[in-house]
């Protein structure tokens, strides 16, 4: 379960800025070349046509990527490593935007030249349909954040979810394009002067967010949120369990309450080699905490918004056994003892 609002905000911030770096000049060319009476009286028309094509093609792409994900069935650990790689990639893009070192130019994936020429030729057509065709062609000119979002769409393994993710993301990028589309020469130059630094700062924050969540998804307990909780919660710092499982008829039972803000308790003591019956209780949960995973055991379960779900497993290794949501945002751990 992915939070579409977060996806939308990603498009609104980093997505809009980075996509604009690649596609903004072509949109400006369309507006400059188009001399129809309709455009003269309503300057929103070419931009709206461009964004319509962009949203439609990426929504269809998300549907196909979600369908592809059904055959891939990515494990939590695999998704975690993908998020880590995406985070490193975004960090490289930020370095390139700031021109920190020539090395960072290798992080920029450029489209094939024939696709760039096609998009440019379409941008010079003097018709209202030309911006729409250009919007469709942007599927071949993805920015870094778009590529990261496409990986998330694959990870859903659901065509509808993949379509919604790409729709929410591209919808989030539209305000930036709407503003840029109507900036005249002086305004556009001013915007272009400052947006690399703004985009790089946002990308740096997003890269840390992606890497941290990826670490959580791999089953590691070394995440920012765990460090913070250990520093502010004495019971976690000392390893004192906030919940002790009970053993009846050779089965240890325990309960986790799932909220929109995470899991409670976050530290549970379990016995090694004793079967576990874990009850997950949800009450009107609408975030990714509904998608519960135990990465090391390859356990994935989508919980209902409200209700109780039982998961059974047997821990065989001593030490921490991490659990998290499907995005690595909300985490906790079992402490396995003899």
What are the distances in angstroms from CA 178 to CA 24, 193, 229, 320, 338?
10, 18, 42, 49, 61
CA-nearest of 268, 231, 267, 238 to 253 is 268
C-alpha 24/C-alpha 322 separation (Å) is: 43
pLDDT digits (tens, 9 = 90+) for 141-164: 777 678 778 877 887 778 998 899
CA 6 and chain centroid, separation: 8
CA-nearest of 190, 145, 203, 206 to 170 is 145
The gap between the terminal CA atoms of the chain, to the nearest Å, is 35
**Nearest 10 degrees: Cα torsion 218, 221, 227, 233:** 140
Q: Tokens 């998009």, residue?
A: 119
C-beta of residue 224 within 8 angstroms of C-beta of residue 125: no
Torsions phi, psi for 270 (to 5 deg) = -130, 155
CA-nearest of 69, 2, 18, 36 to 206 is 18
Furthest CA-CA distance within the chain? 81
For residue 264, give the 3-state DSSP assignment: strand
What is the β-pairing status of strands 251-259 and 276-282? parallel
Regarding the domain delimited by 233-337, which CATH topology (the fold level of the hierarchy) does it fall under?
Answer: Immunoglobulin-like (2.60.40)
C-alpha 135/C-alpha 52 separation (Å) is: 7
CA-nearest of 104, 88, 87 to 96 is 104
Q: Tokens 């990465």, residue?
A: 295
C-alpha 237/C-alpha 235 separation (Å) is: 5
Q: Which residue intervals of the chain are DSSP H helices? A: 4-10, 16-33, 37-41, 44-72, 76-97, 113-123, 129-137, 144-156, 159-181, 185-217, 224-232, 234-237
Q: Which DSSP letter does residue 107 get?
A: G
Note the pLDDT of residue 187: 52
Return all residues near 320 (Cβ < 8 A) that are at least 6 apart. 221, 333, 334, 335, 336
Note the pLDDT of residue 36: 44
| Beta partners for residue 308, in sequence order | 281
For residue 184, give the 3-state DSSP assignment: coil
List of the chain residues with pLDDT < 50: 1, 35-41, 184-186
Name the residue ranges covered by the structural domains of the chain. Answer: 4-217, 233-337
Q: How many residues does the chain have?
A: 338
Note the pLDDT of residue 163: 93
C-alpha 33/C-alpha 207 separation (Å) is: 38
pTM, two decimals, is 0.65
Dihedral sign of CA atoms 150, 152, 155, 160 in order: negative
Note the pLDDT of residue 110: 61
Note the pLDDT of residue 188: 53
């Amino acid at each position: 379960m992915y939070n579409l609002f977060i996806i939308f905000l990603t498009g609104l911030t980093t997505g809009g800025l980075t996509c604009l770096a690649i596609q903004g000049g072509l949109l400006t060319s369309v507006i400059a070349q188009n001399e129809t009476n309709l455009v003269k009286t309503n300057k929103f028309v070419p931009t709206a046509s461009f964004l319509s094509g962009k949203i439609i093609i990426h929504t269809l792409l998300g549907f196909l990527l979600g369908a592809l994900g059904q055959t891939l069935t990515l494990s939590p650990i695999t998704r975690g490593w993908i998020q880590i790689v995406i985070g490193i990639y975004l960090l490289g893009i930020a370095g390139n935007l700031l021109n920190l070192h020539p090395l960072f130019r290798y992080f920029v994936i450029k489209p094939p030249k024939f696709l760039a020429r096609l998009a440019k030729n379409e941008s010079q057509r003097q018709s209202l349909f030309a911006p729409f065709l250009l919007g469709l062609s942007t599927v071949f000119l993805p920015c870094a954040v778009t590529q990261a979002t496409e990986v998330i769409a694959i990870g859903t393994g659901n065509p509808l979810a993949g379509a919604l993710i790409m729709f929410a993301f591209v919808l989030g990028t539209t305000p930036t394009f709407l503003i840029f589309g109507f900036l005249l020469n002086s305004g556009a130059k001013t915007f272009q002067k400052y947006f690399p630094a703004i985009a790089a700062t946002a990308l740096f924050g997003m890269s840390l967010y992606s890497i941290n969540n990826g670490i959580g998804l791999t089953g590691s307990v070394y995440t920012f949120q765990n460090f913070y909780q250990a520093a502010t919660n004495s019971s976690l710092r000392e390893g004192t369990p906030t919940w002790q499982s009970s053993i009846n008829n050779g089965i240890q039972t325990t309960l986790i309450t799932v909220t929109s803000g995470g899991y409670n308790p976050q530290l549970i003591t379990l016995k090694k080699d004793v079967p576990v019956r874990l009850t997950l209780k949800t009450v009107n949960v609408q975030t990714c905490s509904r998608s519960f995973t135990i990465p090391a055991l390859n356990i994935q379960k989508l919980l209902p918004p409200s209700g109780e779900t039982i998961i059974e497993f047997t821990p065989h290794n001593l030490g921490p056994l991490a659990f998290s949501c499907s995005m690595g945002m909300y985490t906790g751990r079992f402490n396995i003892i003899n």
